[in-house]
Amino acid sequence: MYSRRSFLKNAATIGAAGLATAGFAGEKGMARALDAVRYVSGRKPEDVAADEDFWFEIQRAFTVDRTLINLNNGGVSPSPKVVQEAMRRYLEFANGAPVNNMWRVLDPQIESVRRRLAMAYGCDMEEIAITRNASESLEICQLGLDLKPGDEVLTTNQDYPRMLTTWRQRVRRDGIVLKQVSFPIPPKSPEQLVEIFEKNITPRTRVIHFCHITNLSGQIFPVKQICDLARSRGIEAIVDGAHAFAHFPFKHADLNCDYYGSSLHKWLLAPFGTGMLYVRKAKIPNIWSMMGSEEKNGADIRKFEEIGTHPSANALAINEALDFHEGIGPERKAARLRFLFHRWAKRLEEHKGVRVLTSYDPRQSCGLALVDVKGVNPGDLAAHLFDKYRIIVTAIVHDEFKGLRVTPNVYTTVREVDIFVEAVEKFIQNSKA
């Protein structure tokens, strides 16, 4: 367990740059949050999930605008103050003499971030590339695989639009075939999702691309079963983990995938523009890098990071985000996110015409969920919530369903969730009048 003493010691060890300590406010907020962990040690995560005294200390570590109720943390989430301050320090140090301070001093320290991410994910650090987001991570795999005309890529019609756009470009450019399948929300069970993929595999299927957790409804997929299925048929499986890493606890061994891409500015609360790519070591030589790299780098995961000049600060501050995440505890964090989801969703479902399109089964959901109000345009409802209550949610309109996507985070208060529920209830009542 982290203690105040161990955290402050780690925060002060920033490297040869001589950046002595974190800013006082961020340090104090982080230490206070981690001190709170000591008082819940030994309690079940589900019990801590409803302990508002504990979560009050976590909430104080953020500098968010409390005149807004931000329930759209799925796109990008604010970082705690300690992360913001770390990035600011690195930027200021780099700016003093960039060619020396950034390239010679800070860039080598990124290896510590690679090591930390590998430990968190449960893999060899030589299998982790630090990228700018999940899209970049996944496109490295999508564009880097050798595919021939007629080869099929099997995915769903609920995968992320940018990733579908990437496959469609390969359709136009390389003559591959993109096959999208539908699945119910929520499905009857995780096994139903495996069955849908299995029955749609053909002799020409070369890749299965799917989300660990979808950005539309928050459906968690049984990754290991799908990856095992693909491997048994000689098919590559690319897993979109944009919303999964640091959202709920898992390790690579739980997935057994060969390719995994995630954004770190979502649930890890890392700086904007940070991402992670995992490629199994044996697979690295088979993937072309998006930007050219020397042939000698063919088996080196770092070939995927050769994107030209870019700031070190964003990547280095990932360490502070990992400290914060691990200090809270992944299990406690996931339990809190599920607690907030169930609090608003079960209350809204008491109203006729309201349907939550996300399963309550913890194997299939966590903090990201979708709710539909019958007969209501979700864009109109989202606009109403913002204009009248300054509540931020995401309107989802898909060919097969619609609704509001709601994504609280650890800094979200129970009162903010309740205000959202009351605002929707009032909207429903007025619509009936």
Where among 257, 289, 320 does a domain terminate? Answer: 320
- 129 and 159 share a domain? yes
- 348 and 226 share a domain? no
Task: Identify which of 17, 411, 29 has the alpha carbon closest to the alpha carbon of residue 8.
Answer: 29
pLDDT confidence of residue 7: 37
- 174 and 248 share a domain? yes
| Separation CA 329–CA 322 (nearest Å) | 10
- 408 and 296 share a domain? no
Q: Helix (H, G, I), strand (E, B), or coil: what is residue 319? A: helix
Band the pLDDT of 21: cuts 50, 70, 90: very low
- Is residue 306 within 8 Å of residue 293, measured between CB atoms? yes
- The verdict on residue 16 lying in a domain is no
- 211 and 304 share a domain? yes
Q: What is the CA radius of gyration of the chain?
A: 22
Tokens of 315: 């990547």
pLDDT, one tens digit per residue, over 322-376 is 999 999 999 999 999 999 999 999 999 999 999 999 999 999 999 999 999 999 9
Q: Burial level of 81, CB count in 10 A (0-12/13-18/19+)?
A: buried
- 262 and 379 share a domain? no
- 119 and 211 share a domain? yes
| Separation CA 269–CA 321 (nearest Å) | 6
**Percentage with pLDDT > 90 across the chain:** 89
- 285 and 176 share a domain? yes
| Separation CA 396–CA 373 (nearest Å) | 12
- 121 and 249 share a domain? yes
- The verdict on residue 54 lying in a domain is no
Q: What is the mean pLDDT of residues 219-236?
A: 98
- The verdict on residue 21 lying in a domain is no
- The verdict on residue 169 lying in a domain is yes
Look-up of token digits 């990733």: 163
Where among 291, 320, 349 does a domain terminate? Answer: 320
- 236 and 113 share a domain? yes
The enclosing domain of 303 has a CATH number of 3.40.640.10
Identity of the amino acid at 280:
R
- pTM of the predicted model as reported, rounded to 2 decimal places: 0.91
- The verdict on residue 296 lying in a domain is yes
Range of the domain at 226: 109-320
Pairing relationship of beta strands 128-131 and 275-279 according to DSSP bridges: antiparallel
Question: How many structural domains are present in the chain?
Answer: 2
The enclosing domain of 398 has a CATH number of 3.90.1150.10
Cα dihedral value 54, 338, 325, 264, nearest 10: -150
pLDDT confidence of residue 36: 74
Task: Identify which of 309, 348, 428, 413 has the alpha carbon closest to the alpha carbon of residue 380.
Answer: 428
Q: Helix (H, G, I), strand (E, B), or coil: what is residue 66? A: coil
pLDDT, one tens digit per residue, over 137-174 is 999 999 999 999 999 999 999 999 999 999 999 999 99
Residues 6 or more apart in contact with residue 258 via CB below 8 angstroms: 227, 231, 236, 237, 279, 280, 283
| Separation CA 11–CA 59 (nearest Å) | 20
- 225 and 356 share a domain? no
- The verdict on residue 14 lying in a domain is no
Q: In this predicted model, which residue has the larger pLDDT, 186 or 31?
A: 186
Judged by average pLDDT, the poorest of 21-30, 333-342, 407-416 is 21-30
**Percentage with pLDDT > 70 across the chain:** 92
CB atoms closer than 10 angstroms to residue 312: 24
- Preceding omega of 249 cis (within 30 degrees of 0): no
Distance of CA 63 to the CA centre of its chain: 21
Q: Is the pLDDT of residue 423 over 80?
A: yes
- The verdict on residue 44 lying in a domain is no
| Separation CA 111–CA 240 (nearest Å) | 24
pLDDT confidence of residue 52: 94
Q: What is the mean pLDDT of residues 7-30?
A: 42
pLDDT confidence of residue 9: 39
| Separation CA 110–CA 290 (nearest Å) | 21
| Separation CA 387–CA 396 (nearest Å) | 18
- 369 and 407 share a domain? yes
- The verdict on residue 145 lying in a domain is yes
Where among 320, 341, 363 does a domain terminate? Answer: 320
DSSP 281: G
Band the pLDDT of 41: cuts 50, 70, 90: confident
pLDDT, one tens digit per residue, over 97-149 is 999 999 999 999 999 999 999 999 999 999 999 999 999 999 999 999 999 99
